[in-house]
Chain A
Amino acid sequence: MTNAQLEIQLIAALVAVACAIPGVFLVLRKMAMISDAISHSILVGIVVGFFITQDLNSPLLILLAAVTGVVTVILVEFIQKTGLVKEDTAIGLVFPALFSIGVILIAKHANDVHLDIDAVLLGELAFAPFDHLIVGDTDIGPKSLWVIGTILVINLTLLILFFKELKLSTFDKGLAATLGFSPLLLHYGLMTVSSVTIVGAFDAVGAVLVVALIIAPPATAYLLTDDLKKMLLLSCFFGIFAAISGYWVANALDASIAGSMTTMLGVVFLLVYLFAPKQGVFSVFYKERQQRIEVSLLVFLLHLQNHQEKEERHVNHLQEHINWEKVKAKTVLELATKNNLIHISENIVSLTEKGQEFTDEALKYITTNKETAIEELKDRFFLFRG
C-alpha cells in the first residue's frame, strides 16, 4: 500500500465517523433528509466565501458554508411553520433554489478557478493526497485530513459532553424543555454540527454522497440494536467498513472512490436488512411462520380438550373439520408429537399429561392476557426452541 492509498483510506474513514455521529441523531429525529438539503445549499456559502477570501483553503469558507447550512434549516422551518406546505415539500423548495444560485455563481464568476460542478457533486477524494498542508518548511500531511480530523474531534467532544442532553431532547422534547434543557438550543446545535461536518466531508465525497454517509450507517445500525450507545458505535463501524472496502472496490474496478463507498453502504444496509437476527426480513418471516404454527397448535390442543368424542379426535378430522391444508395439519401434528403433547393410537389423537398441562396454561394466558405468562410458557414448553 502506498502512502497516498493509506491517506485516502484514512480520510475516508474519518469522514465516515464524523458523519455517523450527527447522522444517528438526525435519523432518530426523523430529520435525515435535512442533511440532503444542507449538503446542497452549502454550495452557495462556499462560492460566496470564495469571492470574499479568494482562497479555497480559508477556514472562513468552511464557516460561511456552515452558516448557509443553518440558514437552510431556518428557511425550511419558516416555510413549514406557515402551515401551507409540509416539511418534505419545504425541504424540496429550499435547497434546489440555494444550490442553483451556487451553480450560477460558479458558472458566471468562478469558471477559471478550481471549483467545478463534478467535484461539488462527487468530491475528489483521489486528489486529497496531492494537497498537503505545509507549515513553515515541513509537510504535515494532507489538508483534508486536518480539516476532517478537526471536525471529528469537535464532534466527538460535543457528543461526549452533551450525550445526555441530545438523548433526552431527541426522545422527549417536552421533558427536555421542562427540565431546563432548551430543545431549541440543542436542535440548532445539532444543525450547526451537521452543517460543519457536511462542509468538511463535502471536499472528500461531494454533495450527494455525504448524505449516504450520514443516513445509511445509522439506518443500518438501527436494525441491529436497541441501545443508543451501541447504535453510535455500530454506525461508526459500518461507516468505516464501507469507506475502506469501498476504496478497494474502486481500486479494483478503477471507478469513483466516493461512488464505490456509497455502493458499499448500500450493500451493507441490504445485507443487514435481509439477515438481521431480530428485525431482518428473513428472521421476521421465519418468526411469523413459527407463530402461526404455534397458534395453530394451540387451537388444535384446545379442540382436543373440548371434545371427548372419537370422531372429533380422528387424525383425518384435522383436515376435514378444522379445515387445514395437509401440510399445515402434518406440521402441527408432528410438532405436538415431538413435544410429547399428544399421542396417537389407531388414528385417534389424545392429549398427554404434559399436553393437558400445556393447554391449561395456554388457556390461562389467553384469558388473563398477561404478557409475562407467555414468556414463561415458552421457557417451559419450548416448542421451536428445542
Chain B
Amino acid sequence: MREEPYAIKIDDLTVAYNYKPVLWDIDLVIPEGVLMAIVGPNGAGKSTLIKSILGIVKPIAGSVQVFGKPYKKQVDKVAYVPQKGSVDWDFPTIALDVVMMGTYGSLGWIKRPGQKEKKQALEALEKVGMLEFRDRQISQLSGGQQQRIFLARALVQNASIYLMDEPFQGVDATTEKAIINILKELRKAGKTLIVVHHDLQTVPEYFDWVTFLNVKGIASGPVKDIFNDDNLTKTYGINYKVAVNK
C-alpha cells in the first residue's frame, strides 16, 4: 500500500502535566496542503497539541514527524503563530521589528537582519494590510492589528506548515475575513495550515479539514465527511446541534 504524502504524522502521543494527561494516545495524520481546524472544548489540549508538534512541550510517550523527520530537523519548514496573549505587548519595539523576528530562524545565531530581511518584512506587512502601521509601537495596535502582525511574522518565515493558536481570538469581523483570506491563499500555494479554532459555526466555511479533540483524538478528516452532530456530540459531551450548511 502506498502512503499518502503527509505534512505531520503523530503516533501514540501522550502529554501529561504532573499526573494529569492533557493529550492521551493521539494518532493523527495531517495531509499536505490542507487548511485544518482543531476544535474541542476548553482544556481539550488543542494548544498543547500544537506545542508538542513544535517540541515546546515534551511528550511522555509517542512521536511527531514533520515531513518524515523529527521537528528539530525541520525547524525552517514550520511557522508558529502563538496566542496573542502569550507575549507582553508593552515590549519596547515597533510592528516592523516584530515581523522581522520571523527571519531570525533562517539567519541563525549572531547574524543580524539586513535590507533583505527588512524587505521581506515589509512585503508581509503589506499582505496583511498593515504596511501603514509599520512604525507603530506595538502596544498602540488594536487586538486585531496585533494578530495581523503575528500573521505577518509567520509569513516571512516562508514555511511549508503554519501552526496557529486561535488567530481569530478577539478580532473583529473585518480582520477575521482578512486573516482567513490570507490562510486560503496560503493553502492555494500548497501550504499546510493547522489552526486552533473556537467558532464551530464557521468551520465549514473556512476549513476543508478538521480534527476533533478532547484529550483523546475523536475524529479527523475532510470537513464535508466528518463535521457532523455525531462527532460534535462525542467531542463536546452534550448533544450538539450545529447548523451545518450543506
Contact = CB atoms under 8 A, between A and B. Distances in A.
Are A and B a genuine interacting pair, yes or no?
A: yes
A226 B137 contact: yes
Interface in B117-134: 132
A222 B80 contact: no
A234 B145 CA distance: 29
A175 to B, nearest CB: 6
Chain B's interface size range is 20 to 34
Candidate in A162, A177, A231, A372 with the most chain B CB atoms within 10 angstroms: A177
A227 B110 contact: no
Interface in A169-189: 170-172, 174-175, 177-181
Interface string A67-108: 000000000000000000000000000000000000000000
A128 B20 CA distance: 57
B82 A175 contact: yes
Contacts of A361: none
B75 A171 contact: no
B92 A225 contact: yes
Contacts of A231: 92
A179 B104 contact: yes
B92 A179 contact: no
Contacts of B101: 167-168, 171-172, 175
Nearest to A176: B104
B138 to A, nearest CB: 8
A178 B98 contact: no
B56 A168 contact: no
Contacts of B82: 172, 174-175
A383 interface: no
A372 B130 CA distance: 12
Contacts of B87: 171-172
B145 to A, nearest CB: 8
A371 interface: yes
B93 interface: yes
A114 interface: no
Contacts of B3: none
A171 B98 contact: yes
A30 B108 CA distance: 26
A168 B105 CA distance: 11
A28 interface: yes
A321 interface: no
A226 B80 contact: no
5 contacts: A170-B91, A171-B93, A175-B80, A177-B56, A178-B80
